[in-house]
Amino acid sequence: MREVAVVGIGLTEFGEKWDTSFRNLFVEAGANALEDAGMSGDQIDEIFVGNMSGGRFVLQEHIGALIADHAGLTKNHIPATRVEAACASGGLAFRQAYTTVASGMQDIVIAGGVEKMTDVGGSETTDALAGAADREWEGLVGATFPGLYAMIANDYINKYGLTREQLAMVSVKNHRNGAKNPIAQFRKEISVEAVMKSTLVADPLRLLDCSPVTDGAAAVILCPMEMAREFTDTPVKVLASAQATDTISLHDRRDISTLDATVAAGRRAFQQAALTPKDIGMVEVHDCFTIAELCAIEDLGFCAKGEAGKLTEDGQTALDGSIPVNPSGGLKSCGHPVGATGIKQVAEIVEQLRGEATGRQVDAEIGMTHNVGGTGATVVCNILGV
């Protein structure tokens, strides 16, 4: 296996992008990544595009070919593949690109992700996202994702004594970070009181505990480490990429407030990189709901089970804490265009490790990403370093 580096990153702003189309979002992110790497589209050997539900949100399938065509990359007839793993689609697209380069199959590969979620109404969005759960055993009986994560939150609170204030502090911290991120959907700080007084969605989760509906795209370019200096003076090495799977239905889990696929994917990533959680300088975790961030911190091994609330309350997950979590603002503040989220996480780590995250820069040489599909049926973890 060859060593692999990320040599280019590109992002759109995240938010309600009424003035642009699904295809143009990805082209913008891809063009930004090519410019960042100082290369042309003719140098690309393959594309992997993370997308959860283009067919529901914009009535478009055959996403890989669409993106390659609209990006002007069909001249050389390169392979272009859509990757779908619910909200982990972006993370899995990155993993596919990484293994393709590491294996020697291709040299220069784009891993991207895109979602245009605001072109349909709220009820249709909720129903489309429910397809990431078990439609027959969960969706058809009314279990939406806020409801499923509320079950996780209630189980966690009953087991470990998490306070409502500690849960709210996750959102407050991520909005503080997102306010410093120029691509974030919500660039505004909020208070614990605001979170606790926001509209109840699924007890105990309130509106400001939940990630938003978002449009956006992200792209990164990977190549063998031996070629990386041709494109950038600051290549970021991919130290590990791991995936794990669990039951799609929450009720079939061993423990609903421990995501066993996170535990497994994290463990595999640490083994690949020959590292431990103590070696990680920052982490982007999948905070689709505030409770999800707390579970992720614990399941990845950054603290013991039941301690993440106190860790957050003590400021240890803040930008200047012992383990900065979601410097980008996370899904909660930066936004969650589901197919793009896993790629945005990688781009944030790369930007941080380059020392280019103005206003939210952390001191780290190794970073980790954690991208979840559904309630944890698919988890992808990546570790990158300089």
Catalytic positions, written as ranges: 87, 336
- Backbone angles phi and psi of 215, in degrees to 5: -105, 145
Q: Which residues pair with 382 in a beta bridge?
A: 241, 369
Nearest of 110, 116, 54 to residue 84 by alpha carbon: 54
> Which helix (H) or strand (E) is 130 found in, with range?
helix 122-130
**61-66 contact pairs (CB < 8 A, 24+):** 63/114, 66/23
Buried residues in 112-141 as b, exposed as e (16+ CB within 10 A): bbbbbbbbbeeeebeebbbebbbeeebbee
Q: Using CA of residue 291, residue 297, residue 298, residue 304, what is the dihedral sign?
A: negative
Q: Are 145 and 375 in contact (CB under 8 A)?
A: yes
Q: Which residues pair with 8 in a beta bridge?
A: 221
Burial grade of 142 (CB within 10 A; 0-12, 13-18, 19 or more): exposed
